[in-house]
Amino acid sequence: MRAVRYDRFGSTPVVVDVPTPEAPADGVVVAVRATGVCRSDWHAWKGHDDSVSLPHVPGHEFSGTVAAVGPDVTEFRVGDRVTAPFVFACGTCEQCRDGATQVCTRQQQPGFTLPGSYAESVVVPHADVNLVALPDGVGFAEAAGLGCRFGTAYHALHARGRVAQGEWVVVYGCGGVGLSTVLVAVAAGARVVAVDVSAAALERAAALGATTVAMEEDAPSTVQRLTGGGAHVSVDAYGSRATSVAAVASLRPRGRHVQIGLLLDDEATPAISMGRVIADELELLGSHGIAVGEYDAMLDDVVAGRLRPAESIGRTIGFEDLPEALEAMDRPASGSGMVVAVL
C-alpha cells in the first residue's frame, strides 16, 4: 500500500510503498477514505513528541471502511463505514471502565505511538472498544475531523467546559479545532468571540456566527468589553504562551478555561496569574480528545443538522498532496479551516 513517511524529524515526507497491515486478533484494518492534516501531526514531524519512533507514518484523524477483521472482533464487519478517536483505549483500565477512554492509561495513538492514517490502510486495535460506526448520512471527509479536531472541540466544551445556552465563549485560535469550537459553541446556544492573527480565519469564524477580535496585546480587554465583564468559558485552541495567558485573562469571575492546544517545547510553561485564579475562583481545565461514549450524542447532532462539521473544512486535497500539506504548516496559514486528504 501507499503511505507517507519521514525518516528524520523535519525532513521532507515522501510517498512510499509499505506492506499492507494485517488485523490483530482483537482489531481491524481500516481502508482510509479521508484523513486530516492536523497541527499535532506537525508537532510529531518536528520532533516535539517523544512517543514517535523513526521512520514514521503520521496521521491520527481518519474515516473509512473496514477492510479486514480479527477473529476476536464481534461488533464490526468488513465493509462497515467507521471512524475512531485518536486515542486507542485498552478498554480494561480504571479510566476505561469509568468511560473516560480519552485518558486511558495504556492508550496508543495512530500517528504517534503507532503507524498513522497518512496511508491507504490503518490498524485499529481493540476494535470493539475504539471503532465508531458512521451513519450513512455522514460523509468521509467531514467524519475525518470527528476523531480529533471536531471531536476534541465537542468534548472540550460539553464534558470539560460545561457550556450552557446564553453563555459567552471566547476561542483563541481559529484553525481547524478553533473553528470546530466555534461551531459547537454556537450549536449549544452560546455567544462566541473568536480571536486570531489571521484576517481570513476571523472572516471564516464570523461566517460561522462569531464576533471577531484581532489577536493583539489588548485582546483580553476587548473581549472583556464585548462580553460585559468576561467570557464564561475560554478556549485556547492554538497552544502557545501568548494565547493561553490571553484566554485566561479574558474570563469573568468563576469562569472556566479549557486548554486544547498543545504547549510544547519553549511554549510549555505559560505564566498564568495564579493570584487571579484564586481571587476569581477560575477553573483551569485540560481537555484531551473525546471519549468513545460521547460519539452517539455528537453523531445524533450531526445527522440532525444541529452540528455541521463540514463547515470546519477549508479545503480537500489528494493523497499525493499530503507531504506538501504537512510541510506547509511550517509557514503562516494561507487559508482557514481543516485540510482533509480524500483517498
pLDDT over 90, % of the chain: 90
What's the pLDDT at 257? 98
Per-residue pLDDT at 327 exceeds 90: yes
Look at residue 213 in the predicted model and tell me its pLDDT.
94
Q: Are the beta carbons of 230 and 224 closer than 8 angstroms?
A: yes
pLDDT at 154 over 90: yes
Return the C-alpha cell found at 21: 497491515
Phi and psi, residue 158, nearest 5°? -85, -55
Confidence of residue 264 (pLDDT cuts 50, 70, 90): confident
Considering only 217-231, 255-269, 292-306, which range has the smallest mean pLDDT? 255-269
* Per-residue pLDDT band at 336 (split at 50, 70, 90): confident
Cβ burial, residue 189 (10 Å; 0-12/13-18/19+): exposed
Instruction: Give yes or no for residue 57 having a pLDDT over 80.
Output: yes
The per-residue pLDDT for 246 is 97
What lies within 8 Å, CB to CB, of 276 at 6+ separation is 248, 282
Helices 176-187, 199-207: crossing angle, 10 deg rounding: 20
Q: Which amino acid is at 273?
A: S
Bridge partners (DSSP) listed for residue 14: 5
CA distance 294 to 159: 9
Instruction: State how beta strands 81-83 and 168-172 pair.
Output: unpaired
Residues above pLDDT 70, as percent of the chain: 100
Mean pLDDT of all residues belonging to the chain = 95
On the question of pLDDT at 325 being above 80, the answer is yes
d(C-alpha 315, C-alpha 335), whole Å: 9
Give the count of beta carbons closer than 10 Å to the beta carbon of residue 305.
9
Residue whose grid cell is 460521547? 294
Q: Mean per-residue pLDDT for 268-297?
A: 95
20-53, pLDDT tens digit by residue? 999 999 999 999 999 999 989 999 999 988 899 9
Query: Band of the pLDDT at 191, cuts 50, 70, 90?
Result: very high
pLDDT at 9 over 90: yes
Measured CA to CA, the distance from residue 183 to residue 42 in angstroms comes to: 24
Q: Which region among 45-59, 155-169, 202-216, 260-274 has the lowest average model confidence (pLDDT)? A: 260-274
The model's pTM: 0.94
> What is the model's pLDDT at position 118?
98
Q: What value does the mean pLDDT take over residues 109-130?
A: 98
pLDDT at 332: 81
Q: How far apart are CA 67 and CA 343, in angstroms?
A: 15
Query: In the prediction, which pLDDT does 266 show?
Result: 82
Mean pLDDT of all residues in 114-123: 98
Decide the pairing of beta strands 28-37 and 251-259.
unpaired
Grid cell listed for 107: 492508550
User: Which run of H or of E encompasses 309?
Assistant: none
Band the pLDDT of 254: cuts 50, 70, 90.
very high
